């Protein structure tokens, strides 16, 4: 018996010597091309920024980093594709609050588990909205708009690119906070929803910075506030809604996060997080993000990112339920 046990111990030792530990394997990472799957089309603000930092990742990691655009299904096509990818650090996802906090409650069925199928790698920008009104509307500040909305004999109207999207929910969040009665006018696209504010068919809306900034500069839209808790460099002088409305905890933004499939080795996630923190903390990269209407961050720690993600799921998921939109798509 003792001879048998000794033989087993030798076999176990030999096996242990031939199989590298997970940290040792991760030290070799990457050994091949990394693919970043982007939820929006080429040319979007998200895509533009991903291509900028992918180039930096490629330089530092020494392997190709390629971009694969998978727009569609309200940003869920990309998420579903990455959810089933091998958890080895070679397929990553860039996604937003829509796919990771709103749609799982809004849609009857989605092809991924937004909590169990992914692990966050880096939270690097917020995507703020701008509260814009038609210039003919007699409200030049947020308090004036709130007063007008409360006193108007007919409800003010607001547009969005569709029921349940982040812009729609941001106005609903404002309505609930201040007890406002306004009517939602959903459109099929961002340009259409903004164009009708310019034309005066709709009174106001929370609009994407990239799509609305040119119209604000031309005087075709009036900007009253930004939805982030801090100002955005591209709109100096326009206050955060929280400050303009004396509501310190108000923030209604989308965001971009880099995710890996759940089960990706922790040391690979940590390595990618460290690289993204270095890249996105660079002033030049921050400037490039700001130019396209995004709000760059010094990426928080992974535990803090998890906490923020959980709070966003609760915030937007509960709002979708309160509005009676759960499972309506």
68-116 residue pLDDT tens: 999 999 999 999 999 999 999 999 999 999 999 999 999 999 999 999 9
Residue carrying the six token digits 């594709």: 81
Per-chain mean pLDDT for the chain: 91
At 49, the pLDDT band (50, 70, 90 cuts) reads very high
- Segments of the chain assigned to CATH 3.40.190.10: 129-244
Tokens of 170: 């941001």
At 234, the pLDDT band (50, 70, 90 cuts) reads confident
CATH class of segment(s) 129-244: alpha beta
> What's the confidence (pLDDT) of residue 2?
43
- Segments of the chain assigned to CATH 3.40.190.150: 24-127+254-322
CA dihedral 56, 303, 127, 315 (to 10 degrees): 160
- Give the mean model confidence (pLDDT) for residues 31-35: 97
DSSP code, position 98: I
**Cβ within 8 Å of residue 257, ≥6 positions away:** 94, 95, 96, 100, 120, 121, 122, 123, 124, 305, 309
**Cβ within 8 Å of residue 23, ≥6 positions away:** 267
Q: State percent of the chain over pLDDT 90.
A: 83
At 26, the pLDDT band (50, 70, 90 cuts) reads low
Give domain 24-127+254-322's CATH architecture: 3-Layer(aba) Sandwich (3.40)
pTM of the model as a whole: 0.86
Tokens of 319: 């709002």
At 18, the pLDDT band (50, 70, 90 cuts) reads very low
pLDDT in tens, 298-311: 999 999 999 999 99
């Amino acid at each position: 018996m003792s001879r048998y046990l000794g033989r087993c111990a030798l076999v176990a030792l030999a096996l242990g010597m031939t199989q590298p530990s997970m940290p040792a394997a991760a030290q070799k990472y990457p050994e091949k091309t990394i693919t970043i799957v982007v939820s929006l089309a080429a040319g979007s603000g998200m895509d533009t920024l991903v291509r900028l930092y992918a180039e930096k990742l490629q330089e530092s990691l020494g392997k190709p980093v390629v971009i694969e655009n998978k727009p569609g299904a309200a940003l869920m096509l990309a998420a579903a594709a990455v959810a089933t990818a091998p958890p080895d650090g070679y397929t990553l996802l860039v996604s937003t609050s829509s796919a990771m906090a709103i749609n799982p409650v809004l849609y009857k069925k989605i092809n991924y588990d937004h909590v169990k199928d992914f692990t966050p790698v880096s939270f690097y920008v917020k995507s703020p909205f701008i509260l814009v009104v038609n210039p003919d509307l007699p409200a030049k500040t947020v308090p004036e708009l709130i007063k007008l909305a409360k006193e108007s004999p007919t409800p003010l109207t607001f547009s969005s690119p569709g029921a349940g999207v982040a812009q729609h929910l941001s106005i609903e969040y404002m309505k609930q906070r201040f007890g406002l009665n306004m009517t939602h006018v959903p459109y099929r696209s961002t340009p259409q929803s903004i164009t009708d504010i310019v034309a005066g068919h709709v009174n106001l809306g929370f609009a994407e910075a990239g799509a609305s900034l040119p119209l604000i500069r031309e005087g075709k839209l009036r900007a009253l506030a930004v939805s982030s808790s801090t100002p955005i460099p591209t709109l100096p002088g326009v206050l955060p809604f929280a400050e303009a409305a004396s509501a310190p905890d108000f923030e209604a933004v989308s965001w971009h996060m880099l995710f890996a499939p759940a089960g990706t080795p922790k040391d690979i996630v940590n390595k990618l997080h460290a690289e993204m923190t270095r890249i996105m903390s660079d002033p030049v990269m921050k400037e490039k993000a700001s130019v396209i209407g995004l709000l760059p961050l010094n990426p928080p720690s992974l535990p803090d990112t998890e906490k923020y993600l959980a709070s966003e799921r609760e915030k937007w998921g509960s709002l979708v339920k309160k509005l009676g939109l759960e499972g309506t798509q």
